[in-house]
Amino acid sequence: MVEVFSFNNWNLSLDIGWFIFIAFILSWLISFKVGASKSSKIALTVFTISHGLSNATGSVDFDGVNYFVLEAYYLNWSLYDSATVLAIYFLHTGLKVRHSGAVKVAYALTIVNMFSYLAMHYLAFELHYTSHWFYPIYSAGINVTALLIAASLLLKFDSYRLRALCSLKS
């Protein structure tokens, strides 16, 4: 998921994507050991599956030609994230599980990533910018938010705890 234009190394991008996928797998496994909430387990399961599928199907090689599901791969990642949020929402609704605060934080971070993907698509594919000040911010941002999602679901971060951490009051 690292910006290809900045590093000009697609293999590095895939390696970091797999690292994030492994972080989600470990968070998912640990969530059963530490007794995470049912809401967090559902979200971690869906995020883990989503990241695995996006890494496996983000690009398709056939007869030596690299094909993307969509020609603009930032839109692919935005679609994966929107499908992930919808799947988590519908699973919670169908199973009648209340959304935990950590899941709400994960929703917010995923939406930040979705807007980053859309901004990158606009800059790279619509305006055809080969470099832009947003590229390094995007590169670091989407990977950090993905790791924060895995950590927040495992460590039960919610908006109340995050506000308490950010406030200057003791």
User: Is there a domain that residue 168 lies in?
Assistant: no
pTM flag (> 0.85): no
User: Is there a domain that residue 132 lies in?
Assistant: yes
| Distance between CA atoms of residues 142 and 154, nearest Å | 19
User: Is there a domain that residue 116 lies in?
Assistant: yes
User: Is there a domain that residue 166 lies in?
Assistant: no
Residue-wise pLDDT for 41-78, tens only, equals 999 999 999 988 877 765 555 555 555 556 667 888 88
Q: Could you tell me the two tokens for 152? A: 């927040």
Q: Is the dihedral of CA 132, 53, 109, 87 positive or negative?
A: positive
User: Is there a domain that residue 120 lies in?
Assistant: yes
Q: Could you tell me the two tokens for 109? A: 């971070």
Domain count, the chain: 1
User: Is there a domain that residue 3 lies in?
Assistant: no
Residue 130 — very low, low, confident or very high, per pLDDT cuts 50/70/90?
confident
Q: Which domain holds residue 57?
A: 10-158
Residue-wise pLDDT for 70-90, tens only, equals 666 788 888 889 999 999 999
User: Is there a domain that residue 144 lies in?
Assistant: yes
| Distance between CA atoms of residues 103 and 76, nearest Å | 22
